[in-house]
Structure 1
Amino acid sequence: MKPYSCDLRQKVINAHNNTEGSQRQLAKRFSVSLSFVQSLLRRYRSSGTIEPKPHGGGQIPKLNNEQLALVGLLVESNNDATLVELCDRLEEQTQVKISRSSMGRITQKLKLTRKKKHYTQAKSIQNECKN
């Protein structure tokens, strides 16, 4: 969600300074949450700024670029491997343990498809039984 604009923040501060209502009334008037008004006023009193804080970022990925390339090689070398098998092989080579779902997201990110081999031997056995 994007932060509220500085213009709206300034309007809330000005309305509060002019005592145009309680915090709850200001929240209703500007269609924002009460907690937003409270945190905005607290921040304005303590630091004097109304600008939104920068986004905190996300979680740091477990695998670096070299390890991602290794995942690509693992998939190319054995297309039949399951995600769990790929996780185990990656852990053997890099000592980095990742979950099955993480491996699935990584293969999607790398646009790798794992195609299972179709076993034709079972079909020929079925055809022989019908004759």
Structure 2
Amino acid sequence: MKAYSIDLREKIVAAHIQEKISIRQVAIRFAVSKSLVQKLVKQQQVEGNLQPKQRDKPQFSHLTNAEVELRELVVENQDATLVELCELFALKTGNWVSRTAMCCALQKLGLNRKKNIAE
């Protein structure tokens, strides 16, 4: 979602501080949430500006370019749990990843860890 314009942010804060309108009434007037009005008023008081905050960069995952290693691990260790695959990946590459990251990476690659019952 795009950040609200600085002009709108200034109008929201001015309505609350200068016109002495309650936060709830300001939120209704500008069709925004009450928490946004609270956040903007606090930001104006603490930081002295109403600039939108920069979004964090996406976090880097060691599994992003490790498709070959993951496929090898799954083939060699078909009965391994996610935690065991994380440990094996750490031993193989020297990079530890979380169980959740491992699960997401396996799903993206379409690697099924369930045993084949039809055998």
* Inter-CA distance 52–60: structure 2 relative to 1 (3 Å threshold): same
Segments of 5+ residues of structure 2 without an aligned counterpart are none
Aligned residue pairs, count: 114
The answer as to 2:15 corresponding to 1:15 is yes
Relative to the length of structure 1, the TM-score reads 0.59
Distance 1:92 1:31 in 2: 54
CA contact (8 A) 1:79 1:114 kept: no
Secondary structure at the residue paired with 1:108?
A: helix
Q: CA 1:83–1:108 in 2, change beyond 3 Å: closer, same or farther?
A: farther
| Larger RCO of the pair (alpha carbons < 8 Å, separation 6+) | 2
Aligned to 2:78: 81
How many angstroms apart in 2 are the aligned matches of 1:48 and 1:25?
Answer: 23
TM-score (norm 2): 0.63
CA pair 80-9 structure 1, distance change in 2 beyond 3 A = same
RMSD over aligned Cα, in angstroms? 3.3
CA contact (8 A) 2:43 2:50 kept: yes
The separation in 2 between residues aligned to 1:83 and 1:2, in whole angstroms, is 43
Per the alignment, residue 106 of structure 1 pairs with: 105
Q: Are the aligned partners of 1:6 and 1:51 in contact in 2 as well (CA < 8 Å)?
A: yes
Give the structure with higher Rg (CA): 1
* Distance of 1:81 and 1:38 partners within structure 2: 52
Q: Is the alpha carbon distance of 1:64 and 1:86 closer, same or farther for their aligned partners in structure 2, counting shifts above 3 Å?
A: closer
Residue type matched to 2:8 in 1? Answer: L
Aligned to 1:55: 55
Q: Does residue 90 of structure 1 match 2:89?
A: yes
